[in-house]
Amino acid sequence: MKRKILIAAVLFCFVTVCMAAIADFSGKWRGSVTTPDGNEVVLTYNFKIDGDKLTGTGESQDHEVTIDSGRVSGNEFKFSVTNSQGIVIPHKGKYYPVADTCGIDLDFQGTMFHTTLKRVTDK
């Protein structure tokens, strides 16, 4: 009986820690991708987490877009943005709370890009 109570307590603590880690995912993040022609494009995201919903904005080259259809499941997330030409760009990512980074794969018209985002701290 004591073992069952201990296991239940450990699982409860694990779930609580995971939920706290997801709460820390909100905020400003920055990374870059290199285009096929060799140019580096800086990407900045402002994530807002509310339960399993991910909202916010993305910005690159002075263009801001709204995050659409954002979902969070554990430490994985997905969303899309629509650029100024009407192109939908799906994103899939994973949040790494220990390193305080996010790995994101984005699909721009069949070309896959990967970036690692780091939290932006305004100091």
What parts of the chain have a pLDDT lower than 70? 1-24, 123
- pLDDT attached to residue 24: 66
Q: What homologous superfamily does CATH list for 2-119?
A: Quinohemoprotein amine dehydrogenase alpha subunit, domain 2 (2.40.128.120)
pLDDT score, position 16: 43
pLDDT at residue 102, as a whole number: 92
| CB-based contacts of 56, cutoff 8 Å, min separation 6 | 45, 46, 47, 48, 66, 67, 70
pLDDT at 31: 94
Every domain of the chain and the residues it spans: 2-119
Provide the whole-model pTM. 0.77
The pLDDT of residue 74 is 87
Question: Could you give the C-alpha distances from 1 to 9, 13, 14, 53, in angstroms and in order?
Answer: 13, 19, 20, 38
Residues 71 and 78 sit within 8 Å (Cβ to Cβ): yes
**Which structure tokens are listed for 13?**
């603590």
CA distance linking residue 72 with residue 22, whole number of Å: 8
Distance CA 54, CA 96 (A): 16
